[in-house]
Chain A
Amino acid sequence: MNKRALMLLLPALILSGIVFLLPFLWLFVTSFRVQGEGSLLMAEGFSAANYARLVSDSYFAEVFFRTMWMSAAATVISLVIALPMARQIAVSAGRAKGLLLALILVPLVSGALLPTLGMLHLLGPLGVINSILKDFGLTTKSVKFLGTVPGVIIGLVQAFLPLMLLPLVNALSRLPKDVEAAAETLGAPTHIVWRRVILPLVAPGIIAGSVLVFCASLTSFVTPQILGQGKIATFGTMAYQQASLVLDWPFASAVAVVMLAILALGLAVGSLALKLLARRPA
């Protein structure tokens, strides 16, 4: 790296160091501290007690696996919903494409809280979905979405669908139109065109979108906290409970460090998959 490039990168490096690296190091160090006897202040010395507690209690393993599979489910559902949507946006022309892209971006830039509160009214016992179900005589008692795993997964999909859509739209937009036409000319039915032509070519977009949705779901706090109504524990809600309610910051730090380690692992796997894809023969 030459001097000029380093100078250009310097502000970003300093900012990342101050707002991410230093707090992360502090978090890491705190995760090896423990609270003093009968005190909320941290005692002197270091210990791996918080990590031992995480490993030894089956409750944390259950929360870990629940968070993982809920994130995986949200990722798969997002992919299934996003593929046809992204395809439609990619083939749209001019203003329509711009408008559709803007609509995707709106929930992404409005933060997690507002859309989740909207979902609360959509999924609630007196919400829109339950009203429709009752109006059509499909149920007489409200269907429980809030405080259930399916309800939280619906919320995660709603919150992070744009993270899947954007890479897919990008990948599909770059797909040469005549490739599809050529496959159809050779007699391939639509599902074969998707399976053997479109999907392999947009695989980098699928991987990028999947990594983004999985990681965002894994670390999500607002959606499981609000839609889970305190009954669906995830890594995010557990860290909040330990930090803000129990006030056990060292243990909350250990939970956060484990969560960040899984996040780094997810990103590494995604990056490796993209590299392998790039190397495959055309």
Chain B
Amino acid sequence: MYPADVKYTKNHEYIKPLGDGTALVGITHYAQEALGDVVFVDMPEVGAAFKAGDEFGTVESVKTVSEIFIPSACEVLEINAELEAHPEYVNEDAYGKGWMLKVKLDGALNPELLDAAAYEALVSAESH
């Protein structure tokens, strides 16, 4: 639920650095659970540049819609095209098949991001 190799935002996005200056961005397991069945992910264009905290798209589930925000300054290298046909990957495997963006990091990782332990504490506080 809270893999150690990713960093988390308070808005329930994650960023997973791949070690070569790139990273994967998506929403957390907790976020997908709160949304329920995802039916559509609206994503930015390849090449778009964002600052930490910028809105980069929306996730639509059967019940609701949620805006999603960039964890750390970056440029979009690739979007997960599989999600067009299989939005349910976000529910089934948020940190794996459900990734949304592959990005090139712009500078150091946002220092405000949470590690797994801090994020787990945040989630358990929110769900009680």
A, B: real partners: no
Residues of B bordering A, CB below 8 Å: none
Q: Name A residues whose Cβ lies closer than 8 Å to a Cβ of B.
A: none
